[in-house]
């Protein structure tokens, strides 16, 4: 067998046709029909009124925070276990991140710890739907409502994931997505903001394009950004969006393929799925409990010998050298034991929709042999 990657995109005839059409049309920058079609299609898919395409998921987060007026003196609650982009976007506004522990059965920000983390300076909660599983949005929206906070969903890893039948990215005040090459759908590099707030949507469009007046060309009234997506990227994105239901269904099949082989292995935990929620299994992962004699590093190394790629879980934000000065808050104390546990023991396995059933079974069997031997 040849090298098995963690996540390769599915790029087919439709992608090639749309991108070729976009190139041939000459609309290669950020004006063009694919931008509008991709934004409209994405908004419809989520059931929201507005979708605004941008250059990547990180600037989507930054633009949302900037547009909401978040900056120095404000505290923003983020999960301790996330990709660092969530935190970098907060820091780029001048605001202060607070690292909050995660829940063992969602791997996402813990609402109980969120309550403990609140101060008079708290302005925003950023739930990250980690590895494709929704955060507990019901509890988080309730806290936000009671304390007059903004909920910004970082849905970069969870296009199509659901909470009680509603898609993530449609639940908070504003939400962000990434279309990096390994995400649920890709534009190469790319991002999207979604909201039901018409005024906020207008402000996001204005700020992503150098703050140019919609009425008067080259008239700019404030410092702003070039965070635009290109028509070429949107052509790729539209082709991908038209197949998203197939991708998500395939992800679940792949997860079930792993679960068939691994669900009864002692000490091994697979991605959770809480009742009432639907994961999109962005990265299918195992967490090696204390019963496992094999370490996560040894498992990764042994898989590598068999040409099977894997990824360790993210490192807790509070352990990154440039982020050690920020407050950390858990359910019971000022510590993040769940985040540390998952981070030290979690390993993501090949999860891309390009994998066939035989490959999934092959990888799962290898993991089982290595863990139980
Ligand atoms: C991928 C990702 C981002 C950033 O997206 P980019 O498009 O790579 O900038 C942000 N947050 C999370 C949780 C991600 O996984």
pLDDT tens digits, 16-36: 999 999 999 999 999 999 999
Look up the CATH architecture of domain 13-241: 3-Layer(aba) Sandwich (3.40)
For 239-275, what is each residue's pLDDT tens digit? 999 999 999 999 999 999 999 999 999 999 999 999 9
Q: Where are the alpha helices (DSSP H) in 98-243?
A: 111-117, 137-147, 198-208, 231-241
The whole-angstrom separation of Cα 178 and Cα 158 is: 9
The whole-angstrom separation of Cα 106 and Cα 272 is: 6
When pLDDT is cut at 50, 70 and 90, the band that residue 128 belongs to is very high
Q: Which CATH number applies to 244-372: 3.30.750.24, 3.65.10.10, 3.90.1150.10, 3.40.50.12160?
A: 3.90.1150.10
Residues 6+ apart with CB under 8 A from 132: 157, 158, 161, 184, 251, 271, 279, 280, 281, 282, 283
Average pLDDT over the chain, rounded to whole? 97
The whole-angstrom separation of Cα 314 and Cα 320 is: 10
pLDDT, position 287: 98
Measure 16 CA to ligand 1 centroid, in angstroms. Answer: 25
85 lines ligand 1 (CB under 6 A): yes
Residue with the smallest CA separation from ligand 1 atom 13 is: 83
For 191-236, what is each residue's pLDDT tens digit? 999 999 999 999 999 999 999 999 999 999 999 999 999 999 999 9
Measure 196 CA to ligand 1 centroid, in angstroms. Answer: 22
80 lines ligand 1 (CB under 6 A): no
Dihedral angle computed from the Cα positions of residues 233, 37, 173 and 75, in that order, rounded to the nearest 10 degrees: 10
The ligand 1 atom at the shortest distance from the C-alpha of residue 191 is 7
The ligand 1 atom at the shortest distance from the C-alpha of residue 183 is 1
Within 10 angstroms of residue 245's Cβ, the number of other Cβ atoms is 11
The whole-angstrom separation of Cα 347 and Cα 314 is: 9
pLDDT, position 30: 93
pLDDT at 164 over 70: yes
128 lines ligand 1 (CB under 6 A): yes
Task: Give the residue extent of every domain in the chain.
Answer: 13-241, 244-372
pLDDT, position 325: 98
pLDDT at 337 over 70: yes
Residue to mutate (ligand 1; options 7, 59, 61, 86; most atoms within 8 A of CB):
86
Q: pTM for the whole thing?
A: 0.98
Measure 127 CA to ligand 1 centroid, in angstroms. Answer: 13
Measure 57 CA to ligand 1 centroid, in angstroms. Answer: 5
pLDDT, position 373: 84
Arithmetic mean of pLDDT, 31-50: 98
Measure 176 CA to ligand 1 centroid, in angstroms. Answer: 9
Measure 244 CA to ligand 1 centroid, in angstroms. Answer: 18
Taking alpha carbons only, the member of 181, 174, 178 closest to residue 191 is 178
Measure 135 CA to ligand 1 centroid, in angstroms. Answer: 16
The ligand 1 atom at the shortest distance from the C-alpha of residue 56 is 7
pLDDT at 1 over 70: no
127 lines ligand 1 (CB under 6 A): no
For 73-82, what is each residue's pLDDT tens digit? 999 999 999 9
The whole-angstrom separation of Cα 49 and Cα 38 is: 13
63 lines ligand 1 (CB under 6 A): no
Measure 128 CA to ligand 1 centroid, in angstroms. Answer: 10
């Amino acid at each position: 067998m040849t090298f098995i990657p963690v996540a390769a995109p599915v790029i087919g005839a439709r992608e090639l046709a749309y991108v070729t059409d976009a190139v041939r049309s000459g609309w290669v920058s950020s004006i063009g029909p694919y931008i509008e079609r991709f934004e409209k299609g994405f908004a419809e898919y989520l059931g929201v009124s507005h979708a605004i395409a941008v250059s990547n998921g990180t600037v989507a987060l930054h633009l949302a925070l900037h547009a909401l007026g978040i900056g120095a003196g404000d505290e923003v609650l983020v999960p301790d276990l996330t990709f660092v982009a969530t935190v970098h976007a907060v820091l780029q506004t001048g605001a202060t991140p607070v690292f909050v522990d995660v829940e063992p059965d969602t791997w996402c920000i813990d609402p109980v710890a969120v309550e403990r983390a609140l101060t008079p300076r708290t302005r925003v909660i950023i739930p990250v739907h980690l590895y494709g599983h929704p955060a507990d949005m019901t509890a988080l929206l309730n806290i936000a409502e009671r304390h007059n906070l903004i909920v910004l969903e970082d849905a970069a890893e969870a296009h199509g994931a659901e909470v009680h039948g509603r898609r993530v990215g449609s639940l908070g005040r504003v939400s962000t997505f990434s279309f990096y090459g390994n995400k649920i759908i890709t534009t190469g590099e790319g991002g999207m903001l979604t909201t039901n707030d018409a005024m906020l949507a207008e402000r996001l469009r204005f700020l992503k394009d150098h703050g140019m007046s919609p009425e008067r060309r080259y008239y700019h009234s404030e410092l702003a950004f070039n965070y635009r997506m290109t028509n070429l990227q949107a052509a790729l994105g539209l082709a991908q969006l038209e197949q998203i239901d197939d991708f998500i269904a395939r992800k679940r099949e792949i997860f079930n393929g792993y679960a068939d082989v691994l669900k009864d292995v002692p000490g091994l935990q697979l991605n959770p799925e809480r009742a009432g929620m639907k994961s999109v299994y962005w990265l299918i992962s195992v967490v090696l409990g204390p019963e496992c004699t094999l370490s996560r590093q040894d498992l990764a190394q042994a898989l590598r010998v068999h040409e099977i790629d894997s990824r360790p879980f993210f490192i807790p934000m509070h352990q990154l050298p440039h982020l050690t000065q920020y407050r950390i808050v858990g359910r019971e104390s000022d510590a993040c034991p769940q985040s540390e546990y998952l981070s030290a023991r979690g390993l993501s396995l090949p999860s891309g929709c390009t994998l066939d059933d035989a490959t999934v079974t092959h990888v799962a069997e290898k993991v089982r042999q290595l863990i139980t031997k």
